[in-house]
């Protein structure tokens, strides 16, 4: 599934993907899948370290989901498509593809390219069954399915965005970085500030880190009023 421009965890956005076969998912339920994937793909990465880019991409072949092996590749994808995840009937594998441009950006350590990769891993982990099913239906039928009305919590793009965020920056990572300036956290984790800043004040993270409105553990970020 090719990603749209990533809009992490913005509750005001309308759904942009398909209705997920697995139905609605909460951030907490997605976090469980993200933790499991991280334990396989990045088991030796400390909480206060950035996840690898190209190395993690090339480790996908040691990972399988729903009984399906995952493989990876780099292709000259259609204009405007940064990456995609799809099922390959000829091999019986889930294929995570990056465009040549995205792969070069990943090699250069670009945070957005990393998020794109993690987003596609999210599709492979959360939507592998749906990828298999969609490989058997005509493109026109798939396009109609995308237009079907559904909620944000059951939207495949929101789910993959949320997976990418929780995969790259789990609660224990922000806990390990507590007290550091926002820019330093972003640099250390090789993640965009625009993604990290909202996490620091989100209910999901505050609940697990046990923050209060009067306690600001991250420099330069205030807790919300509501």
Which domain does 144 fall in, by range?
1-168
Task: Output the tens digit of pLDDT for each of the chain's 226 residues.
Answer: 544 443 333 333 567 789 999 999 999 999 999 999 999 999 899 888 999 999 999 999 999 999 999 999 999 999 999 999 999 999 999 999 999 999 999 999 999 999 999 999 999 999 999 999 999 887 767 666 676 788 999 999 999 999 999 999 988 888 888 888 889 999 999 999 889 888 877 656 666 654 433 334 434 433 332 2
Q: What is the rounded CA–CA span in Å between residue 43 and residue 20?
A: 28
Q: Are residues 194 and 156 in the same domain?
A: no
Last residue within a domain, chosen from 150, 168, 186: 168
pTM (two decimals): 0.83
- Reported in sequence order, the residue ranges of the chain that DSSP labels E, i.e. its strands, are 64-65, 68-75, 83-88, 93-99
- Indicate whether 112 and 164 sit together in one domain: yes
The two structure tokens encoding residue 152: 């944000």
Looking at 153, 168, 183, the residue that finishes a domain is: 168
Residue 16 sits in the same domain as residue 106: yes
Q: What span, in angstroms and rounded, lies between the C-alpha atoms of 70 and 215?
A: 43
Distant-in-sequence, close-in-space partners of 126: CB < 8 Å, separation ≥ 6: 20, 22, 25, 30, 33, 156, 159, 160, 163
Based on the domain organization, do 4 and 89 belong to the same domain? yes
Domain count, the chain: 2
């Amino acid at each position: 599934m090719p990603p749209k421009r990533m809009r992490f965890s913005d509750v005001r956005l309308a759904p942009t993907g398909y209705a997920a076969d697995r139905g609605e998912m909460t951030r907490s339920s997605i976090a469980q899948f993200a933790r499991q994937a991280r334990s396989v793909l990045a088991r030796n990465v400390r909480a206060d370290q950035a996840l690898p880019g190209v190395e993690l991409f090339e480790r996908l072949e040691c990972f399988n989901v729903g009984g399906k092996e995952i493989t990876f590749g780099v292709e000259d994808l259609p204009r405007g498509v940064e990456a995609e995840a799809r099922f390959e009937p000829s091999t019986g594998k889930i294929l995570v593809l990056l465009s040549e441009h995205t792969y070069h950006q990943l090699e250069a350590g670009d945070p957005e390219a990393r998020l794109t990769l993690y987003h596609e891993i999210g599709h492979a982990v959360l939507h592998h069954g749906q990828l298999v099913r969609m490989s058997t239906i005509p493109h026109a039928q798939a396009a109609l399915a995308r237009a079907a009305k559904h909620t944000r919590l059951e939207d495949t793009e929101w789910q993959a965005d949320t997976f990418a965020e929780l995969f790259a920056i789990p609660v224990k990572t922000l806990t390990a970085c507590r007290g550091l300036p926002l820019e330093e956290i972003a640099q250390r984790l090789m993640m965009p500030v625009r993604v990290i800043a909202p996490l620091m004040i989100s209910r999901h993270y505050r609940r697990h880190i046990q923050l209060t409105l009067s306690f600001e553990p991250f420099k330069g970020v205030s807790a919300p009023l509501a």
